[in-house]
């Protein structure tokens, strides 16, 4: 077997092992020795392909997020072309953005629930270097979807849409993380450990209506100070 055939196989084995171990033990709890043992390679192979544990984690995400970003943009381009200049339906925008992510959980070739769990856990407790990485990876996609929501909801202040998008991202991150932190607080028993396509389908059925409900919720009514009221009252002279 040629070296050209061996190297990609070795690289993928390392990425697969790292993805699973980072999901199970977290970034800090996963050692390079654990990764090399699970992948059946030596440390030199990991250093050759990735250089460091930080670079390895970035590459674990990059190989999955590359597909996710392309698919999200493809779907948005397709919907906007079909709309012929008209605003999109908010539900369609959320389905393309969040539904596409949940679809990855049904497909092992895209990382399945292992990747979704890793992404959720990393988003809820990101290290500084991965926070910067995510910001760069998501920048174009988030900007496009934000603008689509602005057009779809012209009567909702942009700041409120951004807040709701932020809250939806947080809800999705906790949902896919499979964390039991909320069980400790609420005392509710939830089956968060299902894996495979069925787990992603159940998540989608529960989470997507919740997100859409949050987006459609009535606008908050903030208390207005007397000083602000005076500023907004029409002049008696008028």
Task: Map out the domains of the chain with their CATH numbers.
Answer: 1-51 (1.10.10.60), 61-218 (1.10.357.10)
Give the span between the Cα atoms of 91 and 75, in whole angstroms.
13
Mean local confidence (pLDDT), 203-222: 92
Q: What is the pLDDT of residue 111?
A: 95
Average pLDDT of every residue of the chain: 86
Radius of gyration of the chain (CA): 22
More confident residue, 64 or 124: 64
CB 133 within 8 A of CB 140: no
pLDDT greater than 80 at residue 232: no
Model confidence at 199, in pLDDT bands (50, 70, 90)? Answer: confident
Mean local confidence (pLDDT), 101-119: 95
Q: What is the pLDDT of residue 6?
A: 43
The DSSP call for residue 110 is G
Model confidence at 114, in pLDDT bands (50, 70, 90)? Answer: very high
pLDDT greater than 90 at residue 22: yes
Q: What is the pLDDT of residue 197?
A: 78
Written as six digits, the tokens of 26 are 């977290």
Q: What is the pLDDT of residue 222?
A: 73
Mean local confidence (pLDDT), 110-128: 89
> Mind listing the pLDDT tens digit for each residue in 50-94?
999 999 999 999 999 999 999 999 999 999 999 999 999 999 999
Of 44, 53, 71, 70, whose CA–CA distance to 15 is shortest?
A: 53
In this structure, what are the phi and psi dihedrals at residue 131, rounded to the nearest 5 degrees? -60, -45
Q: What is the pTM of this model?
A: 0.83
Model confidence at 3, in pLDDT bands (50, 70, 90)? Answer: very low
What would the DSSP string read from start to end of 62-107?
Answer: HHHHHHHHHHHHHHHHHHHHHHTTSPPPHHHHHIIIIIHHHHHTT-
Mean local confidence (pLDDT), 166-194: 72
Mean local confidence (pLDDT), 199-213: 93
3-state SS of the chain is CCHHHHHHHHHHHHHHHHHHHHHHHHHHHCCHHHHHHHHCCCHHHHHHHCCCHHHHHHHHHHHHHHHHHHHHHHHHHHHHHHHCCCCCCHHHHHHHHHHHHHHHCCCHHHCHHHHHHHHHHHHHCCCHHHHHHHHHHHHHHHHHHHHHHHHHCCCCCHHHHHHHHHHHHHHHHHHHHCCCHHHHHHCCCCCCCCCCHHHHHHHHHHHHHHHHHHHHCCCCCCCCCHHHHHHHCCCCCC
Q: What is the pLDDT of residue 233?
A: 38
Characterize 101-126 residue by residue with b for buried, 16 or more Cβ atoms within 10 angstroms of its Cβ, and e for exposed: bbbbbbeeebbbbbbbbbbbbbbeeb
pLDDT greater than 60 at residue 180: no
User: Poorest-confidence range of 57-71, 73-87, 190-204, 219-233?
Assistant: 219-233
Q: What is the pLDDT of residue 131?
A: 86
pLDDT greater than 50 at residue 189: yes
Model confidence at 221, in pLDDT bands (50, 70, 90)? Answer: confident
């Amino acid at each position: 077997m040629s070296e050209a055939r061996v190297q990609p196989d070795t690289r993928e084995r390392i990425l697969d092992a790292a993805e699973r171990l980072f999901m199970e033990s977290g970034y800090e709890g996963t050692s390079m020795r654990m990764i090399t043992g699970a992948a059946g390679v030596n440390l030199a192979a990991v250093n050759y392909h990735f250089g460091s544990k930080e670079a390895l984690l970035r590459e674990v995400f990059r190989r999955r997020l590359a597909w996710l970003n392309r698919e999200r943009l493809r779907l948005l381009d397709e919907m906007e072309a079909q709309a012929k200049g008209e605003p999109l339906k908010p539900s369609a925008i959320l389905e393309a953005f969040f539904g596409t992510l949940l679809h990855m959980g049904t497909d092992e070739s895209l990382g399945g629930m292992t990747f979704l769990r890793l992404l959720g856990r990393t988003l809820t407790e990101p290290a500084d270097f991965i926070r910067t990485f995510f910001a760069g990876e998501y920048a174009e996609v988030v900007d496009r979807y934000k603008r689509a929501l602005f057009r779809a909801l012209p009567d909702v202040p942009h700041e409120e849409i951004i807040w709701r998008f932020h809250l939806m991202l947080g809800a999705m991150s906790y949902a896919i993380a499979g964390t039991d932190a909320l069980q400790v607080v609420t005392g509710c028993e939830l089956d968060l450990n299902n894996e495979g396509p069925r787990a992603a389908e159940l998540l989608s059925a529960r989470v997507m209506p919740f997100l859409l409900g949050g987006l459609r919720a009535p606008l908050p009514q903030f208390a207005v100070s007397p000083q602000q009221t005076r500023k907004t009252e029409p002049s008696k002279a008028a």
